[in-house]
Copies of this chain bind each other. A is one copy, B any other.
Amino acid sequence: MSHRHGTRIERWALRKVLECAGYPALRVVVQGGESLSPPGVDPRHTMLVKDRRALALLMLDSEAGFGEGYAAGRIQIDGDLIEFAEAMYQAARTVPRRGVMARMVSRWLEWTQRATRTGSRHNVHQHYDLRTEFYQHWLDRDLLYTCGWFPSPLSSLEEAQQVKMDRICRKLGLVAGERVAEAGCGWGALALSMAQKYGVSVRAFNLSHEQIEHARRRAQSLGLSGQVEFIEDDYRNISGNYDAFVSVGMLEHVGPQHYRDLAEVLRNCLGGSGRGLLHFIGRSRPAPLSAWIRKRIFPGAYAPSLSEALTVLEPGDFAVADVENLRQHYARTLECWLERFEAAWPEEAQMCDEEFLRAWRLYLAGSVAAFRCGELQLYQVLFAGRDCRRELWTRERAPAQTTAQAGEKPGSEAWNAAMS
């Protein structure tokens, strides 16, 4: 193949890449070869593609091709990775339909990563059974791996995570002695906090062996083993009756084909009188997650639109009491994680290879961008059974301030006294 011919192919491939990406303000450079940016646009970012194989994959599937190329170091981005990702999301919105290859990859992943009982165990293992030390490098001290709630822009990640847990407990109106089921409990921070601060007893479920082991050790060291039971099992096996149900960051792993399983679990657990809270990554309308994220980071994950998520609640006649969208809080949470992740790179590099770390950097930076620009949402949905008599009367029960104590409920006390 002559140099001239190769050059022509390269330019054609570059044009395709920009077209599939919705003509972002980007200059794409093939190392030692051609470069291109959309005509009439002042490029704000530069993407360096180091070889033709990476270019070909990028052209065939811009999402997965970029992710794989970036992780392998065959693609580099000049400048801020978060801003680059934001620009890509914005431009992609103008693309009417994704390419054939991209759609095939997406479908293939959907099929192979189905969240059946066996599939879920495998999917969870791939992400959450990484060694706890890896997460300890960049999460807060209690290892909360979900969106925090920042009372102010200057709040620390540690504070945001404590406030988040407190707000959830107050939204649920937990009272000492009540029984709570938690589906997808991570390293156990919320379950332990509910037990310690609100005096409830908790049965917390999780498929990750690594996380459950860690959570049990923490319960023991806090003297809470009698009050909090950590169970290594599927959410579909939750049995017993509970006053409240809580799930933070698990619905994303359930998969819409299995929402009716979760709906049935809720009905069995809560009957008509319980209440609950679902906290999950969602979307403004139905769409699959990035294929690369599903391939490398979260196998089988799906972020539902709010109406899709409501199919978990409406069959059981659970009424939505309150929905809060925390997407800006998640962007801030992820910024904190990414900052710590970068700072700990040298230590992390002793446990993980470069490709793994570059993939995680892209996942964290891309997620900041996705929540900033509304590509992803974070919904916190409070709901109550039709016979539940412990509902939110006013929003005062979930105060914005962290200073309020667990026992005091401004407003609602007066209401409950007057209305009962």
Contact = CB atoms under 8 A, between A and B. Distances in A.
Interface of A: 93, 151-154, 284-286, 305-307, 310-311, 313-315, 317-325, 327-328, 373-374, 377, 379, 384, 386, 391-396, 400, 411, 414-415, 418-419
B319 A418 contact: no
Contacts of A152: 411, 414-415
Given A306-B320, A320-B379, 8 more contacts: A93-B386, A153-B415, A307-B310, A319-B374, A325-B392, A394-B400, A395-B395, A400-B411
B400 A386 contact: no
Given A322-B323, A418-B154, A311 B317 contact: no
A211 to B, nearest CB: 30
B418 A318 contact: no
8 contacts: A153-B418, A284-B318, A285-B314, A307-B311, A310-B310, A319-B374, A319-B377, A395-B395
A303 B310 CA distance: 16
Interface of A is mostly: mixed
Q: How many copies does the complex hold?
A: 2
A213 to B, nearest CB: 36
A374 to B, nearest CB: 5
A418 B379 CA distance: 23
A310 B319 contact: no
Would you list the 4 A-B pairs with minimal beta carbon distance, nearest first?
A323-B323, A153-B418, A284-B319, A307-B310
A393 B285 CA distance: 21
A395 B323 CA distance: 11
A153 B419 contact: yes
A302 B56 CA distance: 54
Contacts of A151: 394, 411
Contacts of A310: 305-307, 310
Contact of A328 (B324, B379, B395, B419): B419
A322 B377 CA distance: 12
Contact of A386 (B284, B392, B393): B284
Contacts of A318: 284
Given A154-B418, A414-B153, A321 B325 contact: yes
Contacts of A322: 323-325
A315 B395 contact: no
A393 to B, nearest CB: 5
A303 to B, nearest CB: 12
A390 to B, nearest CB: 12
A284 B316 CA distance: 9
B317 A284 contact: yes
Contacts of A321: 325
Contacts of A392: 325
Given A396-B400, A419-B328, A320 B317 contact: no
A319 B375 CA distance: 10
Nearest to A309: B307
Contacts of A311: 307
A143 to B, nearest CB: 25
A285 B395 contact: no
Given A307-B314, A319-B377, A322-B325, A395 B386 contact: no
A305 B310 CA distance: 9
Contacts of A93: 386
Contacts of A307: 306-307, 310-311, 314
